[in-house]
């Protein structure tokens, strides 16, 4: 049982690193082998949208993303911790998530494994963290890790989280719980009534009448008069981040666009001349 712990903070030691290492200690106590890496220190290029990862099986960027993907593919569990800056996680989270399209190539392989993720955000105060958990859970799901649980921690000063004994104990137990989840000895967190039952998002897109859509995993459902989100089992099985949906998205949409583009390429090049 291998767990990969990702730290997404340039501050060392900081609150994110402290929580990552404490959660990892809990996972190790439950029998997991844990590798800790700080992706903020990695050379990760921005996605160019070239789709080489899909059509060639490898991104053309010569950076450390290939090494990180290998680690993510080998891991059974994921712990990812990031500070919240401007209302959402540190930018390295989005940069790495943008490169996750290649994971669609491994949809069948990932579906066969028992995988799970623990996501942790650290902000100075709660009103500065409106979608941190949602984006971190999307990060985990984009790399094929269903969310086991999440934590939202708050401490403005470097290392100040260490003064919160309850938080430190809680994150230790969450790390242990992730390892137990991977062993089939416990269940994932139950979503609250106002959360998406697939990705735990508290944000919804209003579609009219009482219909809603989760903007993070795209499942649709209804919102009752008590603001409780209701989603059918069939809808859950077709969430964007399920292996089946990702494979279908790859084959029916991404690869299908190649032929259409090749047919229109000369016309596009001609029209692009005045923009060069």
**Mind listing the pLDDT tens digit for each residue in 117-136?**
999 999 999 999 999 999 99
Q: Would you call 275 exposed, middle or buried from its count of C-beta atoms within 10 A (0-12, 13-18, 19+)?
A: exposed
Does some domain include residue 146? yes
Same domain, 165 and 271: no
Can you tell me the mean pLDDT for 7-26?
Answer: 96
Give the number of C-alpha atoms closer than 13 A to the C-alpha of residue 271, restricted to the C-beta side: 5
Domain shared by 121 and 233, yes or no? no
206-218 core/surface letters (b: 16 or more CB in 10 A; e: else) = eeeeeebbbebbb
Residues 240-249: tens digit of each pLDDT: 999 889 888 8
The confidence score (pLDDT) of residue 251 equals: 87
Q: Report if residue 122 sits inside a domain.
A: yes
Range of 12's domain?
2-182
Residues in Cβ contact with 152 at an 8 Å cutoff, skipping those fewer than 6 apart: 120, 121, 123, 126, 129, 132, 133
Mean pLDDT of 176-205: 96
Domain count, the chain: 2
Per-residue tokens: 175: 């790390």
**243 & 157 share domain:** no
In a domain, 190, yes or no: no
Q: Is residue 198 situated within a structural domain?
A: no
Residue 61 has pLDDT above 80, yes or no: no
């Amino acid at each position: 049982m291998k767990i990969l712990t990702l730290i997404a903070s340039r501050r060392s030691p900081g609150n994110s690193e402290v929580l990552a290492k404490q959660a990892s200690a809990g996972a190790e106590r439950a029998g997991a082998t844990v590798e800790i890496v700080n992706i903020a220190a990695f050379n990760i290029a921005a996605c160019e949208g070239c789709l080489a990862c899909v059509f060639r099986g490898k991104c053309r960027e010569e950076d450390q993303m290939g090494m990180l993907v290998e680690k993510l593919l080998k891991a059974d569990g994921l712990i990812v911790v990031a500070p919240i800056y401007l209302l959402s996680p540190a930018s390295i989270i989005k940069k790495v998530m943008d490169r996750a399209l290649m994971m669609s190539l491994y949809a069948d392989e990932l579906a066969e494994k028992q995988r799970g993720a623990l996501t942790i955000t650290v902000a100075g105060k709660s009103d500065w963290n409106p979608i941190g958990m949602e984006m971190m859970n999307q990060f985990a799901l984009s790399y094929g890790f269903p969310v086991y649980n999440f934590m939202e921690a708050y401490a403005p000063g470097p290392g100040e989280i260490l003064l919160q004994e309850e938080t430190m104990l809680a994150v230790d137990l969450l790390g242990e719980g992730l390892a137990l989840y991977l062993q089939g000895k416990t269940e994932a967190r139950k979503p609250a009534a106002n959360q998406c039952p697939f990705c735990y998002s508290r944000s919804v897109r209003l579609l009219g009448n009482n219909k809603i859509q989760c903007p993070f995993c795209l499942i649709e459902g209804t919102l009752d008069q008590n603001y409780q989100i209701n989603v059918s089992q069939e809808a859950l099985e077709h969430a964007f981040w399920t292996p089946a949906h990702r494979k279908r998205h790859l084959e029916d949409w991404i690869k299908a666009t190649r032929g259409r583009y090749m047919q229109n390429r000369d016309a596009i090049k001609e029209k692009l001349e005045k923009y060069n």
